[in-house]
Amino acid sequence: MNDNEVILAVAFSRESRNAARNAMAALKADKDGHSQAARLLRAISAGQEVHAKKLLMLLRGKLGSTEENIEVSVQKLEDAIADYPAMLDGLRENGDPAGESMLAQCLKTAMGHKGRLARLNGEKDVFYQVCGICGFIAEEAAPERCPVCGAVRNQFFSTA
Ligand SMILES: [Fe+2]
């Protein structure tokens, strides 16, 4: 990476983290009865997601064909599946059970996501429900309980 790519990568990371943080803060604001704050935090989060996507486009160049993009997505999932076990060991050794639990969920869902991509060509008109707690993907209807994190059905959202 050259200096400009490092700057753009830092900005991408910051915008992505802030978008996620503000989305979570919006959920908390809703739960606490601060609906106006929740709406604004969601709007800011959405704006930061726009920034992150544009920064990523600058970093990686134009998107390829859908087939190429699926191949990249599979490779990125395989990278995560390869790297996360050692990272989990590090969290366990350093005594971070919350981080270990979250990364374990990331690993489990990455394996599931990779499997779904492998079956993509055989799927038509399938809609997906995503667990808002761990990222697990269910087909069609959300399960009663998430098989990865145990979240209840109403924690799932549609990405159609
Ligand atoms: Fe889940």
The model's pLDDT over 38-88, given as tens digits with 9 standing for 90+, comes to 999 999 999 999 999 999 989 887 778 999 989 989 999 999 999 999 999
Place of tokens 């990779």: 114
Number of separate domains in the chain = 3
Report pLDDT digits (tens) over 21-37.
Answer: 999 999 999 999 999 99
Angle between helices 97-118 and 66-93 (to 10 degrees): 160
Could you give the percent of the chain with pLDDT greater than 70?
100
CATH number where 150 lies:
2.20.28.10
Q: What is the pLDDT of residue 131?
A: 95
- For ligand 1, the distance from its centroid to the CA atom of residue 147, given in whole angstroms, is 7
- For ligand 1, the distance from its centroid to the CA atom of residue 155, given in whole angstroms, is 8
User: Do 140 and 95 belong to one domain?
Assistant: no
- For ligand 1, the distance from its centroid to the CA atom of residue 150, given in whole angstroms, is 6
Supply 137's token pair. 């993907």
pTM (2 decimals)?
A: 0.75
Does residue 63 or residue 15 have the better pLDDT?
15
Mean model confidence pLDDT for the chain? 93
The DSSP call for residue 133 is T
**Please, are residues 110 and 74 in contact by the beta-carbon 8 Å criterion?**
no
Could you give the percent of the chain with pLDDT greater than 90?
82
Cα 137 from Cα 108, distance rounded (Å): 11
- For ligand 1, the distance from its centroid to the CA atom of residue 109, given in whole angstroms, is 9
Q: What residue numbers bound the domain in which 22 lies?
A: 1-62
145 half-sphere exposure, CB direction, 13 A CA radius? 4
- For ligand 1, the distance from its centroid to the CA atom of residue 123, given in whole angstroms, is 23
Between CA 42 and CA 44, with CA 43 as vertex, the angle to 5 degrees is: 90
- For ligand 1, the distance from its centroid to the CA atom of residue 58, given in whole angstroms, is 32
User: Do 1 and 56 belong to one domain?
Assistant: yes
Residue 122 has pLDDT above 90, yes or no: no
* Residue of 75, 98, 79 lying closest to 88 (CA atoms): 98
User: Do 57 and 5 belong to one domain?
Assistant: yes
pLDDT category at 155 given cuts 50, 70, 90 is very high
